[in-house]
Structure 1
Amino acid sequence: MTPTPASAAQEIIDHLRARGSKDNVAGMARFGIATETALGLSNVVLRRIARAVGTDHARALDLWRSGIREARLLAAFTADPGALTLDEARRWASECNSWEVVDTVADLCIAARLEQVLVPEFADDDREFVRRLAFAMIATAAVHLKTEPDSALLAWLPLIETHSTDGRNFVKKAVNWALRQIGKRNAACHGPALAVAERLAASADRAARWTGRDAVRELTDARVLNRLGL
């Protein structure tokens, strides 16, 4: 039976287990998804379940505590941003073990408007997935916080530049993602972001150079320039 808003966390978990697929789990591993606790449900299915059960913060905390991949994604989908505390966000960040969970938690943290506290804090944390969360939050904010002053996004560029030398795969890709999303936000953000990208592209550091060159390539693409009116 499809879960409903009245369903408890354990009922939802039982439903997830019943719909699991070992074949899907094997496929997820090819995309760098941590599958140790995965049941094999796609995000499309999880989003559908999230819409069916609705927002329930206490239940989301229970889902997260299960440690199951799908339950943790559902937790991030169905937690109440207005109820999410800094301590809860910190605990979830410390327990993330997969880039896709990190990026989903980033969406929640931005909806909760915790970025001003957590971005610098998480960027300063040496744990790979915690640091990734900082830059995933920046990337998400650049896209979704449409009424936020551009200056608030541009203020993160020095942090991007500082951590561009972190060569760990999931951090490097998030730093690059954040830089590109700021640059594509609008014409006012494009120039400062491109300037950072060009500096990084000329860096002696391999990770920074990769981030810079990739960002320059996208930010100078004709389609991006046309969309921004440049």
Structure 2
Amino acid sequence: MTIDEIVSYLFAHASEKFKANVVKLGIPEDCSIGVPTTELRKFAKQIPKDKLFLKELWQTNYHECKILAVLAMKPKECTNEDIYFFMEGIQSWDLCDLFCKTIVIKMADYGTFIQEWIVHKDLFYKRAAFTLIASTSTHVTLTIDEIKGYLKLIETCSDDERLLVKKAASWALRELGKTDEVAKTLSIETAEKLKKSTSKAQQWIAKDALKELELLVKVEGRKRLISAKSKMGREG
């Protein structure tokens, strides 16, 4: 299968309605084809998995081709140089989150990316750091000290007015809080500190996170806390 054949397949399965939705994410119209993610996930199983081929596919600059590349990429074959190659081409929050949750979080040293990117000025590097914090709590078993460390990063590095960063910071805070009752208490304490901050961005993050944090409950059979508003939470 060639790059041209993949692009032709995508255009044949495109939808103008879906393309309009994708463009709303901030992706330039000329970089979007308009193929639903469900279709991309199925198609990704059929395309070559060679890293050089996938990097070439990425360089078409089509949003859908980039998603395919992420879905087909083997994380174990990625180097730090590859991570930066892909990061430089990210133009939307959905691709940023997919890349972090599918590839970066599986790197042995993903923690170094969190430390570096959380102080980065670029929008998607900054969001990626918070996305990784949100993802790490579901990816590995964190110690209380590790949770405290991540909460401290959120507290000290979340003064950013950009909505995509604020949403990711709130997400990270909420996901850490779902770890267990101790983590919930620590996350609420962090949110309360942010709520008292002079930073409007941090006040927003705190209020947004507390909407869920304060409703988290322990339900038998579930390792992580869940919302009391969910069906399982109400039954529990």
Normalising by structure 1, we get a TM-score of 0.87
Alignment length (residue pairs): 220
Whole-angstrom CA distance in 1 between matches of 2:4 and 2:207: 47
SS in 2 for 1:40: coil
Q: Distance in 2 between the 1:150 and 1:52 partners?
A: 42
Amino acid at match of 2:121: D
Which of 186-195 and 69-78 deviates more? Answer: 186-195
How far is the alpha carbon of 1:166 from its aligned partner? 0.3
C-alpha distance in 2 between matches for 1:187 and 1:53: 44
Determine if contact 1:38/1:68 at 8 Å carries over to the other structure.
yes
2:55 equivalent among 61, 64, 76 = 61
- Does the 8 Å CA contact 2:57/2:69 hold for their aligned counterparts? yes
Of 85, 93, 96, 1:99 maps to 93
Mean Cα deviation higher: 203-212 or 112-121:
112-121
Question: Aligned Cα RMSD in Å?
Answer: 2.1
Q: In the alignment, what sits opposite 2:133?
A: 138
Q: Partners in 2 of 1:25 and 1:114 — Cα distance?
A: 36
Match of 1:76 among 45, 70, 75: 70
Instruction: Give, in whole Å, the separation in 2 of the partners of 1:15 and 1:185.
Output: 42
Partner of 1:226: 218
Q: CA deviation at 1:120?
A: 1.2
Task: Give runs of ≥4 in structure 1 deviating > 6 Å.
Answer: none
- Over the matched positions of the two proteins, sequence identity in percent amounts to 28
Structure 1 residue 150: Cα displacement:
4.8
Q: Judge conservation of contact 1:33–1:100 (CA < 8 Å) in 2.
A: no
| Distance change (3 Å), C-alpha of 1:9 and 1:188 | farther
**Contact between 1:139 and 1:181, CA under 8 Å: does it hold in 2?**
yes
Following superposition, the deviation at residue 91 of structure 1 comes to 2.2
Match of 1:34 in 2: 27
The gaps in structure 2 that reach 5 residues or longer are: 220-224, 229-236
Given that 1:28 and 1:35 are in contact with CA atoms closer than 8 Å, whether structure 2 keeps it comes out as no
| Residues 24 and 126 of structure 1: CA distance in aligned 2, closer, same or farther (over 3 Å) | same
SS in 1 for 2:46: helix
**Counterpart selection for 2:82 from 69, 73, 88:** 88
SS in structure 2 opposite 1:137? helix
Amino acid at match of 1:118: F
- Any conservation in 1 of the 2:118–2:130 contact (CA below 8 Å)? yes
